[in-house]
Amino acid sequence: MNKIVLITGGSRGIGKATSLEIAKQGYFVCINYKGDKKSAENTVKEIKANGEEALAIKADISIEKDVLNLFKQIDSMNGILYGLVNNAGILNKQSPLVNMTYNRIKDTFHTNIIGSFLCAREAIKRMSLKCNGKGGKIINISSGASKFGSPNEYIDYASSKGAIDTFTIGLAKELAEDNIQVNAIRPGFIDTDIHQTYNRLESVKALIPMKRIGKPIEIANAVVWLLSDKSSYTTGAIIDIAGGK
Ligand code: NAP
């Protein structure tokens, strides 16, 4: 039986690097994406070229119907759902709260937190011992922004990631006796397209103790560890990978 790992937003950036590393460990990777089919297919192609297995599945995780369809497709596959990486996330333009529209705030929370809740809920139904599952691992991708609040920039995003931290702590305790480990990774500045609306990666380097921007693979490596048996006593942890920031 294949051990399936679902990664939301697994087609680009941190998600892509993580999909490639997860596949190398022998998991069947389900790569969820929202709209950029080409990037998703290219990531699948790269994985298959290495002789590993992956499938791209389109779904907007902020929409419940899409999430239910996503998991239905996983149910039809030959394998069991072993891992969920709640990675998909959005970041809007820099703005103080006073200028943020309702739609912006709603979209940020719907994708970054409600989407993660919905995916975790469906994963638990497949993994939980209480639901005749075999256990599993849930890994939430938070952000260093949750610690700093990101004033005048993206307080909506930072708050949604604060909610991810709290979600991780609570869900880990809720599932600790159910053989499901729940952990989070809190990346600092990582070089991906998420920063394309206002490229300030160069200017923030000076604020980072290690004086450099992180690479997507540096997040992927931690996800691989959390998915592995080597993290067997770790749950409810929030791991900062941020060059010391
Ligand atoms: P990215 O390069 O912008 O990639 C975002 C991915 O999420 C894409 O695959 C995108 O799919 C997918 N996505 C967005 N909205 C979605 C939705 N509603 N449903 C399904 N998929 C959706 O982002 P990234 O920088 O790799 O970030 C990945 C995660 O790390 C996010 O949670 C982000 O908040 C977090 N993070 C990033 C940084 C950083 O500096 N990069 C720092 C801290 C935390 P499409 O391409 O199809 O739209």
pLDDT in tens, 145-186: 999 999 999 999 999 999 999 999 999 999 999 999 999 999
Residue 1 has what pLDDT?
78
Q: Separation of 89 CA from ligand 1 center, angstroms?
A: 4
For atom 10 of ligand 1, which residue has the closest CA?
A: 9
| Ligand 1 pocket check for 15: Cβ under 6 Å | yes
Task: Indicate if ligand 1 lies below 6 Å from the C-beta of 189.
Answer: yes
CA of 66, closest atom in ligand 1: 19
Q: Which of 79-93, 131-145, 191-205, 217-231 is predicted least confidently?
A: 191-205
Report how far Cα 146 is from the mean position of its chain's Cα atoms.
15
Q: Using a 6 Å cutoff on CB, does residue 6 contact ligand 1? A: no
Sheet holding 2-7, edge to edge: 54-58, 28-33, 2-7, 79-86, 136-141, 180-187, 238-241
Q: Could you tell me which residues come within 8 angstroms of residue 225 by beta carbon, excluding any fewer than 6 positions away?
A: 231
List, in order, residues 6 or more apart from 124 with CB less than 8 Å away: 131, 138, 175, 178, 180
Judged against a pLDDT cut of 80, whether residue 107 lies above it is answered with: yes
Residue 185 pairs in a beta bridge with: 141, 239
Q: 10 burial class (0-12, 13-18, 19+ CB within 10 angstroms)?
A: buried
User: Is pTM beyond 0.85 here?
Assistant: yes
Predicted confidence at residue 99, as pLDDT, reads 98
Mean pLDDT for the stretch of residues 118-132? 97
In this prediction, residues 119-137 reach a mean pLDDT of 97
CA 9 to centroid of ligand 1, rounded, Å: 6
Rounded distance between C-alpha atoms, residue 59 and residue 63, angstroms: 8
Q: Is 16 in the pocket of ligand 1 (CB under 6 A)?
A: no
**pLDDT tens digits, residue range 195-228?**
887 777 888 999 999 999 999 999 999 999 999 9
Kindly list the catalytic residues: 157
- Please tell me the distance between residue 130's alpha carbon and the centre of ligand 1 in angstroms: 32
